[in-house]
Amino acid sequence: MTDNFLANKKSLFNNWASSYDWIFPSVFYRAIHQRLLEYVDLSDQVNVLDLGCGTGRLLARLATKFPHLRGTGLDLSPNMLRIARLSNHHQPRLIYVEGNAESLPFGEAQFDAVFNSISFLHYLEPQQVLSEVARVLTPGGRFYLVDFTSKQETEPKKTPISPLGVRFYSPKQREILGSASGLMCVSHHYLLGPVLLTIFAKGH
């Protein structure tokens, strides 16, 4: 199941990559990135990770706003990453690597902040992803989770996967999932329509 699921996701985003920055959802996603920045609080010399970075638009925006920021974008789709690398005007501060959010190719406590924008809905093992986020965050580090939310309150583990292979989590479900991985919810903020930012902090 896992291999097929991931292969389908990879193929979906590989096919989408060349038009991703030019079609309507991307306009929406960029507006979300802009709103997200209003809530981002980073110190000067930070090292950040963007999980499911797609074409790298969010990292580019962060690198422009924070001139000393270093960032890594990770994504499942090589085609998305190719576009991110081609439009990377912040080398060597920003780099892009291929990988699966459920098994991050990084050591412990590498990042001061982790971002995740409209990607969490695609994960088969959300708890595993959150454990990986907690592992790579420094103590006190922040996790900025941005995704469509749901009003339905089922057990997080039993949240059904739609036929399109996506799942939405309510604010409460996010809190439960985060706390099971050592990530405490700091706040929730609606960014645009049903897209909710949840800010988590890793304990010291």
Ligand X SMILES: C[S@@+](CC[C@H](N)C(=O)[O-])C[C@H]1O[C@@H](n2cnc3c(N)ncnc32)[C@H](O)[C@@H]1O
Taking the complex as a whole, the smallest distance from the CB of residue 125 to ligand X amounts, in Å, to: 9
Sites for ligand X among residues 57-96 (CB under 6 A): 57-58, 75-77, 80
Binding-site member from 66, 96, 123, 200 for ligand X (CB under 6 A):
123
Q: Does 53 bind ligand X (CB under 6 A)?
A: yes
Residue 142 pairs in a beta bridge with 113, 201
Using the rule CB under 6 A, is 145 a contact of ligand X? no
**CA angle, 122 then 36 then 42, to 5°:** 110
Interacting stretch for ligand X, rule CB under 6 A, among 64-72, 86-94, 100-108, 162-170? 100-108
Residue nearest to ligand X (CB): 54
User: Judged by CB under 6 A, which stretch of 99-107, 157-165, 173-181, 192-200 contacts ligand X?
Assistant: 99-107
How distant is the alpha carbon of residue 81 from its chain centre? 14
Whose structure tokens read 């999932």?
A: 177
* Eight-class DSSP state of 193: T
Give me 94's structure tokens.
Answer: 């920003």
Q: Give the residue among 63, 68, 71 at the shortest CA–CA distance from 43.
A: 68
Q: Chain-centre distance of CA 87, in angstroms?
A: 19
Sheet holding 47-51, edge to edge: 94-98, 70-75, 47-51, 111-117, 137-148, 195-202, 183-192
The residue range among 63-71, 84-92, 116-124, 155-163 that interacts with ligand X, by the rule CB under 6 A, is 116-124
By rule CB under 6 A, what count of residues binds ligand X?
Answer: 20
100 part of the interface to ligand X, by CB under 6 A: yes
| Chain position carrying tokens 């986020």 | 133
* Position 36 contacts ligand X (CB under 6 A): no
Q: Which of 59, 62, 69, 118 binds ligand X (CB under 6 A)?
A: 118
**Residues in touch with ligand X (CB under 6 A):** 9, 13, 29, 52-54, 57-58, 75-77, 80, 100-102, 117-119, 122-123
